[in-house]
Amino acid sequence: MRTIKGPALFLAQFVSDAAPFDNWPAITRWAADCGYVGVQVPSGAARLFDLEAAAASRDYCDSFKGQAGENGITVTELSCHVQGQLMAVHPAYDLLMDGLAPPHVRGDPRARQAFATDQVRKTLLASRNLGLSAMATFSGSLAWPYLYPWPQRPAGLVEAAFDELAARWRPILDLADECGVDVCFEIHPAEDLHDGTTFEMFLERVGGHARCNMLYDPSHYVLQALDYLEHIDIYADRIRMFHVKDAEFRPTGRQGVYGGYQPWVNRAGRFRSPGDGQVDFGAVFSKLTAADFDGWAVVEWECALKHPEDGAREGARFVRDHIIRVTEHAFDDFAAAGTDASANRALLGLGS
């Protein structure tokens, strides 16, 4: 077993044009002041990170890490969630997803996909240059509009969607292998990889690729009424990243999983700051530790109620209090009998 690293903070929800969230030295100083020792960096956040330079230059990456290190901060991983989402967009979402893309590819789905693919590849190259072992992303989604089987789906529709998704990602996974970096898909609603079954469908189509792995975030499982603890038991070998995000699901006589089209604060299922929701993080940290999880506990702040800066500061303490420093010996070693093979046979009545 290993002691989980942390606490770390995912910076995506904090980057802005206001100080101290508008540049790399300032945001890392702020994170350290909140109690963090690591940060997960969105690769498309130009205020913080030059992806083009990082993909091409180890010197740039060394300088980037060095600036964080001066503030006591480690770069834990890069994230390309947005770019991964744009790898596969159903036409129903074209206008919405164009808002996540740069102006020069809007209105052109092929150009948008090519841009996203290039960005994901560069995030892998940058991860290698930074000496990182994992990259976070979304899978994108082609089948999501057909999630509910009404009207009845035509035979082969979902299979065709997953075949295409795998074809788009297989070259990325091969590049990841060359870079020595795991691709960690966040299992997330609105992505085609939104639960264990869909992950398995995808994994089969990429030939069980060793670089195809998971970002585990129990909040998304709470909102799906999925057993987030058994999920660790099933997929421990594929879980390579961990977001510490809480949620609560309180169905009523009026709404349940689908939320009645309500805003987050009024939904039966909503995200909360760590410790304010229903996730049993004591059990989550215990299971991941027992499963020899070799990664970081990364707070992702998303809460329908609490101010983000309060959530960030509380999250650092929350993770620090939940990390289990693994024991170096068994608790009952004091009573060890110190026997050998001959003594064991004698204890069993088998003679010497």
More confident residue, 193 or 340: 193
pLDDT at residue 195 tops 80: yes
Q: What is the pTM of this model?
A: 0.95
Whether 11 shows a pLDDT value over 80: the answer reads: yes
Element (H, E) at 298: strand 296-299
78 assigned to some structural domain = yes
Q: Cα(219)–Cα(224) distance, rounded to whole angstroms?
A: 9
Task: Please say if the pLDDT value at position 180 is more than 80.
Answer: yes
- Is pLDDT above 90 for 294? yes
What's the CA gap between 210 and 203, in Å, rounded?
A: 9
For residue 164, tell me if it sits in a domain. yes
**51 within domain boundaries:** yes
- pLDDT digits 0-9 by tens, 119-166: 999 999 999 999 999 999 999 999 999 999 999 999 999 999 999 999
Whether 352 maps to a domain, the answer reads no
Q: How confident is the model at residue 344 (pLDDT cuts 50, 70, 90)?
A: confident
The total domain count for the chain is 1
Report if residue 104 sits inside a domain. yes
Residue-wise pLDDT tens digits, 40-60: 999 999 999 999 999 999 999
Q: Residue 37 pLDDT > 70, yes or no?
A: yes
Residue 146 is encoded by which pair of tokens? 């057909």
The CATH number assigned to the domain holding 97 equals 3.20.20.150
Mean pLDDT of 24-36: 98
Average pLDDT of the chain to the nearest whole number? 96
Cβ–Cβ under 8 Å, residues 304 and 277: no
What is the span of the domain harbouring residue 261? 5-347
Task: Give CA–CA dist 11/15, Å, rounded.
Answer: 6
